[in-house]
């Protein structure tokens, strides 16, 4: 099934599907008592679930917090701790970790991954040399995107993995959301890897357990919205407005899918190469990258 509206968040895929229950999909929501954190776990169990949500099998944990958008140092500590515990659970004791900051550091909303790597406390070489003795061996790389390297990012990671002998990957990337309300306040953690074409980047080889040969934990934060999503949304709203103007027959002519296709068609070709991002994206990306790197540093 094609995406009805383009999003990298399993949570938004779930919302797109109108049915309450789906075969092969388990959804569980938790609110952290006294904290502004909402945690949703979506498990896609089998092929039926994959089909329903258009994403590969696996666990998708979404941590949302209204405050992530704001400047409040203490709160982010709680969020950072939630993320840290989630990561430790998913790692299940594996010690040798390669953190990969995906994305292009020269484009603000795509720089999340490289910025996280910049703030990491790297321990692998210090443990090896006997200077430190931490539980996790953290190594890291921010390989850049294919336009910068000429090489599929998945290939670079595979090569570094083989030489460094890490046993698990933590992959960080900027994502695309459909809903502007989710930008820069949602963290998705998944063991299903990163799907091709996520966010602004153009990685076409999936980075997951099958292709990499080790456990892959993906951390993603939506920092942009695809232009077709914005247009699709507005078209929906415009059709509603037309509806109120008594033009019901027109609206009947469009299913939601037809509308999205129309949006894509209208926009070709140059707009598909564009993205929508908020004006305060620099602060947002800096702040969230710090929260994520702290979660890994404190593991």
CA torsion, points 12, 65, 99, 142, in degrees to nearest 10? 80
The least CB distance from residue 43 to a second copy, in Å, is: 31
Positions in 259-298 near a second copy (CB under 8 A): 262-263, 266-267, 270-271, 273-282, 286
Provide the residue count of the chain: 299
Positions in 203-232 near a second copy (CB under 8 A): 225, 227, 230-231
Verify binding: residue 180, a second copy, rule CB under 8 A.
Answer: yes
Helix axes 73-91, 281-297, angle to 10 degrees: 50
Kindly report the number of other CB atoms within 10 A of residue 146's CB atom: 19
Kindly report the number of other CB atoms within 10 A of residue 133's CB atom: 8
Cα angle: 131, vertex 135, 139; to 5 degrees = 70
Q: Closer CB to a second copy, residue 53 or residue 177?
A: 177
Q: Which residues, other chains included, contact 58 with Cβ-Cβ below 8 Å and sequence gap of 6+?
A: 43, 44, 190, 191, 192, 193
Q: Closer CB to a second copy, residue 10 or residue 284?
A: 284
Verify binding: residue 200, a second copy, rule CB under 8 A.
Answer: yes
Verify binding: residue 257, a second copy, rule CB under 8 A.
Answer: no
Region near a second copy per CB under 8 A, out of 1-9, 13-21, 56-64, 152-160: 152-160
Look-up: residue for tokens 């040969």?
A: 213
Q: Closer CB to a second copy, residue 2 or residue 73?
A: 73
Verify binding: residue 150, a second copy, rule CB under 8 A.
Answer: yes
- Options 29, 46, 122, 134; binder of a second copy; rule CB under 8 A: 122
Verify binding: residue 248, a second copy, rule CB under 8 A.
Answer: no
Q: Closer CB to a second copy, residue 62 or residue 223?
A: 223
For residue 188, what is the DSSP state? E
The least CB distance from residue 279 to a second copy, in Å, is: 5
Q: Closer CB to a second copy, residue 20 or residue 163?
A: 163
The least CB distance from residue 11 to a second copy, in Å, is: 18
Cβ distance 212 to 35 under 8 Å? no
Region near a second copy per CB under 8 A, out of 19-27, 33-41, 42-50, 102-110: 102-110
Verify binding: residue 34, a second copy, rule CB under 8 A.
Answer: no
The least CB distance from residue 234 to a second copy, in Å, is: 4
Q: Is cis: bond before 185, omega within 30 of 0?
A: no
Verify binding: residue 84, a second copy, rule CB under 8 A.
Answer: no
The DSSP-derived string for 45-108 is: -SHHHHHHHTS-SEEEEEEE-GGGGS--HHHHHHHHHHHHHHHHHHHTT--EEEEEE-S-TTSG
Verify binding: residue 18, a second copy, rule CB under 8 A.
Answer: no
Positions in 37-76 near a second copy (CB under 8 A): 71
């Amino acid at each position: 099934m094609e995406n009805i509206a383009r999003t990298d968040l399993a949570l938004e895929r779930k919302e797109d599907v109108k049915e309450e229950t789906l075969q092969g999909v388990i959804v569980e929501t938790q609110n952290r008592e006294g904290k502004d954190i909402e945690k949703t776990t979506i498990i896609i169990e089998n092929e039926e679930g994959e089909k329903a949500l258009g994403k590969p099998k696996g666990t998708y944990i979404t941590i949302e917090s209204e405050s992530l958008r704001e400047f409040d140092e203490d709160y982010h500590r709680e969020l950072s701790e939630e993320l840290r515990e989630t990561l430790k659970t998913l790692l299940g004791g594996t010690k040798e970790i390669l953190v990969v900051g995906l994305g292009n550091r020269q484009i603000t909303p795509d720089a999340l991954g490289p910025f996280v790597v910049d703030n990491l406390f790297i321990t692998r070489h210090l443990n090896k040399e006997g200077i430190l003795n931490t539980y996790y061996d953290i190594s890291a790389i921010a390989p850049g995107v294919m336009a910068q390297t000429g090489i599929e990012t998945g290939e670079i990671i595979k090569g570094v993995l083989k030489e460094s002998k890490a046993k698990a990957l933590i992959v960080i990337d900027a994502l695309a959301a459909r809903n502007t309300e989710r930008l820069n306040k949602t963290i998705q953690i998944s063991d299903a890897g990163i799907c091709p074409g996520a966010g602004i980047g153009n990685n076409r080889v999936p980075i997951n357990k099958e292709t990499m040969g080790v456990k892959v934990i993906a951390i993603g934060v939506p920092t942009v919205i695809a232009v077709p999503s914005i247009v699709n949304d507005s078209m929906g709203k415009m059709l509603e407005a037309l509806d109120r103007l008594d033009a019901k027959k027109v609206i009947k002519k469009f299913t939601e899918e037809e509308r999205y296709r129309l949006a894509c068609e209208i926009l070709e070709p140059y707009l598909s190469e564009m993205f929508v991002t908020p004006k305060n994206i620099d602060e947002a990306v800096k702040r969230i990258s710090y929260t994520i790197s702290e979660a890994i540093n404190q593991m």
